[in-house]
């Protein structure tokens, strides 16, 4: 069992008005919680590489000091974050929608098949989705939270820009959100963590997220969990599910990547 080593926030953080928090925090373009943000992003970006995490701390600190452009390596990291987040979010949607109960219930394989068949983003193929999930499944609760907040922040900024000193909509990547709003990311990730550890696929003994390798959030972080948004599986996703047959693992079967479903 692994817990992230992140200092707790000041007591009493409870996020009640999402839009107000997003607009207030991102209108200043000033990171207020660097002590938590830097290690949080380290775990998210390099979950199983402690040496690289430690080496990148100065670069992450430099981001707060004006080095705003994201390094080329983090662009690919963020792309994989979004892919892993799509898989996690679709898994939750399948569960909440009661889909596939007669066929073993939701699984990572089914979520990847829906994502690969319905996401238009370049590179959203089964092999890439499996690779991203395998790489970031131990921080899937965190990257999913950051990705969801990022999407909401962009919508908020497009509806009404954050002002002359605020961040622009096209700068609101998941990395930026985790750096600027680590408390919000962790509060939402707490709910995803609970879901991932309590959801055990049929015919399996372990839950969706591996209890031994998941980077857990300490219970004394002084934040209150907020519920994740639940979406409906669209008609294309339903069609993909209906076409799926027992034992069919989709296009990931022909990939060189070995799928590991939790």
- Which pLDDT tens digit goes with each residue over 79-120? 999 999 999 998 888 887 776 565 667 788 888 888 887 766
Domain chopping of the chain, boundaries? 15-254
Whole-prediction pTM: 0.81
List, in sequence order, every residue forming a beta bridge with 3; answer none if it has no partner: 216
Percentage of the chain surpassing pLDDT 70?
A: 73
Give CA separation, 239 vs 22, 70, 118, 124, in Å.
36, 38, 10, 18
Quote the CA–CA distance of 186 and 35 in Å, as a whole number: 14
Quote the CA–CA distance of 146 and 172 in Å, as a whole number: 10
Contacting residues for 255 by C-beta, under 8 A, at least 6 apart:
126, 127, 130
181 pLDDT more than 60: yes
Q: Tell me the three-class secondary structure of 133-146, residue by residue.
A: HHHHHHHHHHHHHH
* Residue 84 exposure: Cα atoms within 13 Å on the Cβ side: 30
Structure tokens at 93: 């949607």
Window from 71-80, 107-116, 152-161 with minimum mean pLDDT: 71-80
């Amino acid at each position: 069992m692994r817990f992230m080593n992140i200092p707790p926030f000041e007591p009493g953080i409870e996020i009640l008005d999402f839009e107000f928090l997003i607009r207030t925090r991102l209108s200043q373009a000033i990171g207020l919680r660097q002590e938590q943000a830097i290690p949080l992003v380290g775990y998210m970006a390099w979950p199983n590489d402690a040496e690289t995490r430690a080496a990148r701390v100065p670069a992450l600190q430099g981001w707060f000091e004006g080095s705003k452009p994201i390094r080329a390596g983090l662009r690919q990291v963020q792309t994989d974050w979004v892919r892993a987040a799509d898989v996690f979010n679709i898994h939750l949607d399948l569960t909440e929608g009661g889909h596939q109960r007669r066929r073993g219930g939701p699984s990572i394989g089914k979520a990847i098949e829906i994502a690969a068949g319905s996401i238009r983003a370049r590179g959203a193929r089964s092999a890439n989705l499996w690779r991203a999930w395998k790489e970031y499944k131990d921080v899937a609760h965190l990257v999913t939270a950051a990705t969801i907040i990022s999407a909401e922040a962009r919508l908020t900024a497009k509806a009404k820009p954050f002002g002359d000193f605020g961040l622009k909509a096209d700068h609101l990547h998941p990395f930026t959100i985790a750096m600027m709003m680590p408390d919000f990311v962790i509060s939402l990730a707490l709910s995803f963590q609970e879901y991932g550890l309590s959801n055990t696929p049929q015919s399996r003994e372990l839950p969706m997220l591996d209890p031994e390798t998941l980077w857990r959030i300490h219970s004394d972080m002084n934040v209150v969990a907020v519920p994740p948004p639940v979406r409906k599986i669209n008609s294309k996703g339903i069609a993909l599910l209906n076409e799926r047959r027992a034992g069919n693992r989709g296009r990931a079967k022909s990939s060189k990547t070995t799928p590991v479903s939790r």
